[in-house]
Structure 1
Amino acid sequence: MNRNLLIVEDDEGLQSQLRWCFDGFDVTICANRSDAIAAVRRVQPGVVLLDLGLPPDPGGVTEGFATLSEVLSLIPECKVIVVTGDNDRGNAVKAIAQGAYDFYQKPADPEILTLMVERAYRVYELELENKKLHKGSQTMPLDGVIAASDAMLKVCRTVEKVAPSDITTLLLGASGTGKEVFAQAIHNMSPRANEKMIAINCAAIPDNLLESELFGHEKGAFTGATKQTIGKIEMANGGTLFLDEIGDLPFELQAKLLRFLQERVIERVGGRKEIPIDVRIVCATHQDITKHIEEGRFREDLYYRISEITINIPALKDRDGDPLLLAKAFLTRFCQEYKKVIKGFDSNAIAAIEAYSWPGNVREIESRIKRAVIMADGNMITLEDLELNIDSDEEAPPLNLKQIREEAEKKAIRRALNHTNASISEAAKMLGITRPTLYSMLEKYDMK
């Protein structure tokens, strides 16, 4: 693998001196910030040697710090060594605080610089290797979550950050996307993991019973209340309360729930005693709560109270690669459960799984695979076993790498041209290629 080193230096004499110092590196030299950022996009350097004094402010450091910030935003793992002038230790320390790996004061000593660059690149390689090993050692991102798509991995990272706190969390997602699985993951990774997680579905209980289910009731509070009953909120004391489908919570109950969330005390139905409650609240809904607020069906103040952190769970159709991953996992589970010997899916079944939109999300794919395992006659699941009706406009993504690459290149070129108002020079810089290369690609894809 090429070891790429980027030198950002506006002094031509020093450029010439440094160009030949670093044996074993592919050296790229730039004299200003815009060229440096274009080079970063193009060559993806592991180490950048950066002079803080760059034009149009060679006597200052504004351009240098701006370059440092942009480089690290594009390649966070890149090791940036800042080169400063004499008696400029303050800016060197500031650069380290902003993410630079190391600093070196002029005049440049090629031998020492070479040692610093070698060491920085070795650290860069070790961190990349460690990241690969760490990624390979993780079978699934969260307990109970089967996913490999970027969209779901982002959700999992958010859950990992949120779980250790007591912040009230709102999970948004279509039915069947796994909101309760994520609620359980938040509880399991929290300091309350050894306590109970109590779940209640606000849409599954009649409105006239839901208040009693949540808050409990005293004996004689209403007809049929023959004994004192503890509600779900009180049962969850010390642990986590999961309010599923909170978008269906009756409007009359919303004020009482809001008071509990603010004061952390409850009163049972028919009671007068305030009961303090220590509980973590996780809510979920497939409803568009903002629309409910506009229609006067949901309190805006309650919405802000339950959505201190909001996590959007993507639909299965937006999770690249996950449908087939889930299908294989469910196939393994149901084959064991029903003692069936099925090797896998035939090519038509795989194509259908990848092309289908899965409106019922994970719940639908689970039921489809379960039925297919039970009904399959052979040792492979077929399209007929899945009983999927694929629309003509639903096509599986291509597996041909050339085709995938061409589609990605066309999409990136369109975006770059849109961002730069069709400026070829600026678009080429943004894409990390030369103008002739961009012209060639425009002609190749008939995009002129």
Structure 2
Amino acid sequence: MDAKATQVLLVEDTESIARVYQGYLASQGLNFTHVSTLAAAQEALQRKLPSLILLDLNLPDSNGLELLRQLHDSGCSVPVIVITGHGSVDTAVEAMRLGAYDFVSKPVEARRLQVSVANALKYYALNLRVNAIETEQNRNHFHGFIGASSGMQAVYQMIERSADSRATVFILGESGTGKEVCAEALHRASKRAEQPFVPLNCAAIPKELIESELFGHKKGAFTGAQKDRTGAVMAADGGTLFLDEICEMEIDLQAKLLRFLQSGTIQPVGSDQLVGVNVRVVCASNKEPWKQVEAGLLREDLYYRLHVVPINLPPLRQRGNDVLLLAKRFLQEYGLEEGKAFAGFSRQSEWALTTYAWPGNVRQLQNVIRQIAVMHPGGKVALEDLPAPVNQVADVAQKESEDGAPKQFDWSKDTIEVGQVATIESPSLTSLADIERHAIEQAIEQCDGNITQAAGMLEVSPSTIYRKMQAWQQID
């Protein structure tokens, strides 16, 4: 492990013994912070979490077990090696019950301490790796996407697995689910990220111009071709070409697209020269492609060339509480643009947002939240502030509220509500991760470094804050 990850807090009241331990471990390249009291240890932990704690139990101001108990109760996963000259079976059992990694009796043998420390650091590194994997598997944002649902986690994994391949990707999903965002995410996650990303909507270009838009043309190739034009394929050379609504492309042009995919060359309109290009092709459609093949609207041979890696984007109505993540993010962004401070949504408005079917998916949600940001003066958005047709669930919400909170409510106490952070003066917020970190750090500061109190203020467990702090240290 490198020095950045091997900070050791040594809690030992005798200076000479502390120097002996540091001498024993000199070959392991550790950075020590030595304190001699419980109070000093608590202060050091509030400043920065170490990778390992060497803890003497016999301290001048308290028993070291008290610090161990505090760490255990707060959910801190930093390994602790307990060292004491007053060892007993009961003390050892209590220390291990409180989460001590190892228990070493004085006088301490050099080899015994070296082995214990090396193993503890390996254990710590493994914990960090496990936490990193868990975080990766439960991301709430990814290259432009916002969402933590299982459906979106599957999308993120598909993007990562296929990003560096040259195989064509076919993105499927209803209108407004974020097909272009997905294509851009594939590009950003790939080795082509520094090269061009060129989108082309096949349904938005007249059929007589689509070949020229795609492959380019030479001057004089047709009426109005007054100069050479570089097409989308050539513009994307070295990067990614995104063909949206591919099923709307004319059958005759599909044959030329197939030839390009097979040969890696194009022939601009009006040219007799073939030009080689290096392009990764990603396409998308809101229609089922095989049904388009059966209907004679998509060539079967082109289908097999394009439908190599399919990625299915779930509709918003199947993404659970992603609706709230998106709504809160959009509300903050649009609120900043409008110069207004929003404090999130009321519980009934949140229920309405998650109950509505969202036929227009994320694009419709953006439109609704933009309307709220423009028309609402700021503060908390109530149920009656939601525009039609979302507010059509109001009668149902009112009826259920008379009998108590609606059963559909699923408020997670272990998440940070973006709306609660809206009052923090930080106009440079760019991601949910930044918002979360800002809120946690501000709460810790307000609680004078007391992690347990900060966790109570944020309505999360102390272990959640400790895990976040460990992850930040690896990033910083």
Q: Shorter-chain TM-score category? A: 0.5 to 0.7
Q: Deviations over 1:57-89 (max 9, x none)?
A: xxxxxxxxxxxxxxxxxxxxxxxxxxxxxxxxx
CA 129–218 in structure 1, closer or farther in 2 if over 3 Å, else same: closer
Structure 2 residue 408 is matched with structure 1 residue 397: yes
Question: In 2, Cα distance between the equivalents of 1:193 and 1:275?
Answer: 23
Looking at structure 2, the residues matched to 245 and 320 of structure 1 have their Cα atoms a distance apart, in angstroms, of 27
Q: CA deviation at 1:378?
A: 5.1
Alignment of 1:338-377 (within 5 A): 338-377=338-377
The alpha-carbon deviation at position 251 of structure 1 amounts to 1.3
- Give matches, 1:241-390, under 5 Å: 241-377=241-377, 379-387=379-387, 388-390=390-392
Kindly state the Cα deviation for residue 374 of structure 1 after the two structures are TM-superposed.
1.1
The answer to whether structure 1 residue 196 and structure 2 residue 196 are counterparts is: yes
CA distance in 2, matches of 1:169, 1:123: 40
1:165 corresponds to which letter in structure 2?
Answer: S
Q: Given the two structures, how large is their TM-score scaled by the length of structure 1? A: 0.59
Pairwise CA distance, 1:385: 2.3
Counterpart in 1 of 2:233? 233
- Contact 1:214-1:232 at 8 Å conserved across structures: yes
Deviations 1:218-261 (A, max 9, x none): 11111111111111111111111111111111112100000000
The runs of 5 or more residues in structure 1 that have no matched partner are 1-121, 402-448
Deviation string, structure 1 residues 235-289 (Cα, Å, up to 9, x no partner)? 1111111111111111121000000000111111111101111111111111121
Q: Compared with structure 1, are the counterparts of its residues 323 and 267 closer, same or farther at alpha carbon in structure 2 (3 Å cutoff)?
A: same
CA–CA separation in structure 2 for the residues paired with 1:330 and 1:178: 15
Equivalent-residue separation in structure 1 for 2:251 and 2:383 (angstroms): 46
Offset at residue 356 of structure 1 (A):
0.6
Aligned to 2:182: 182
1:141–1:153 Cα contact (<8 Å) kept: no
Unpaired stretches in structure 2, ≥5 consecutive residues? 1-120, 398-405, 413-476
- Please give the secondary structure, in 2, of the residue aligned with 1:170: strand
User: Is the Cα contact below 8 Å between 1:354 and 1:396 reproduced in 2?
Assistant: no
Deviation of residue 293 (structure 1)?
A: 0.8
CA distance in 2, matches of 1:393, 1:246: 41
In the alignment, residue 131 of structure 1 is paired with which amino acid? V
**Post-superposition CA distance 1:317-361 (Å, at most 9, x none):** 111210011001111111111110221111221110110111111
User: Aligned in 2, Cα 1:154/1:124: closer, same or farther, shift over 3 Å?
Assistant: farther
- In structure 2, what is the Cα distance between the partners aligned to 1:236 and 1:399? 45
**Closer/same/farther in 2, CA of residues 241 and 397 from structure 1, 3 Å limit:** same
Q: Corresponding residue for 2:435?
A: none
Q: Could you report, residue by residue, the CA deviation over 1:6-65 in whole angstroms, capped at 9, with x for unpaired residues?
A: xxxxxxxxxxxxxxxxxxxxxxxxxxxxxxxxxxxxxxxxxxxxxxxxxxxxxxxxxxxx
Deviation of the 1:126 alpha carbon: 7.9
TM-aligned CA distance change 1:393 to 1:303, over 3 Å: farther
Q: How much has 1:384 moved relative to structure 2?
A: 2.8
Cα separation, partners in 2 of 1:377 and 1:337, compared to 1, 3 Å:
closer
The residue type equivalent to 1:371 in the other structure is: Q
> Structure 1 229/328 Cα, relative in aligned 2: closer, same or farther at 3 Å?
same
Rounded Cα–Cα distance in structure 2 between residues aligned with 1:199 and 1:358:
26
- Structure 1 residues 133, 270: CA separation in 2 closer, same or farther (over 3 Å shift)? closer
What is the match of residue 130 of structure 2? 131
Q: Distance in 2 between matches of 1:186 and 1:328?
A: 25
Residue 367 of structure 1 aligns to which amino acid in structure 2?
Answer: N
Distance 1:155 1:136, change over 3 A: closer
- Equivalent in the alignment of 1:213: 213
Q: Which residue does 1:60 correspond to in 2? A: none
Aligned mates of 1:396, 1:149 — CA distance in 2: 20
Contact between 2:340 and 2:378, CA under 8 Å: does it hold in 1? no
Which amino acid is 1:313 matched to? L
**Aligned pairs (5 A) from 1:111-190:** 130-136=129-135, 140-190=140-190
Q: Tell me: CA distance 1:355–1:144, structure 2 relative to 1, closer, same or farther (3 Å).
A: same
Give the percent of matched residue pairs that are identical in Structure 1 and Structure 2. Answer: 43
- Letter aligned with residue 176 of structure 1: G
Quote the offset at 1:150 in angstroms.
Answer: 0.5
Deviation at 1:131, TM superposition (A): 2.6
- Residues 366-404 of structure 1: per-residue CA shift (max 9 Å, x gap): 111111111113521122322114458998734399xxx
The alignment partner of 2:310 has SS state of: strand
SS state at 1:334 partner? helix
Taking the aligned partners of 2:244 and 2:274, their CA distance within structure 1 comes to 25
Question: CA–CA distance in 2 between the matches of 1:221 and 1:133?
Answer: 56
Q: How many angstroms apart in 1 are the aligned matches of 2:381 and 2:391?
A: 15
Letter in 2 for 1:187: H
Q: For the structure 1 residues 306 and 239, does the alpha-carbon distance in structure 2 shift closer, same or farther, using more than 3 Å as the test? A: same
Q: How many residues align?
A: 283
Alignment of 1:30-49 (within 5 A): none
Please give the per-residue CA displacement for 1:170-222, whole angstroms capped at 9, x wherever unaligned.
11011111111111111111111111111110011011110110011111111
Distance 1:400 1:202, change over 3 A: closer
Change (3 A) 1:156 1:139: closer
Q: Distance in 1 between matches of 2:382 and 2:409?
A: 20
Is 357-366 or 390-399 further displaced after alignment?
Answer: 390-399
Equivalent-residue separation in structure 1 for 2:190 and 2:127 (angstroms): 30
The 5-angstrom pairing of residues 20-99 of structure 1 reads none
Query: Is the contact between residue 172 and residue 313 of structure 1 (CA under 8 Å) also seen in structure 2?
Result: yes
From the superposition, tell whether residues 133 and 193 of structure 1 become closer, same or farther in structure 2 (CA, over 3 Å): closer
**Contact 2:139–2:153 (Cα < 8 Å) also in 1:** no
Maintained 8 Å contact 2:258/2:305? yes
State the Cα RMSD in Å.
2.7
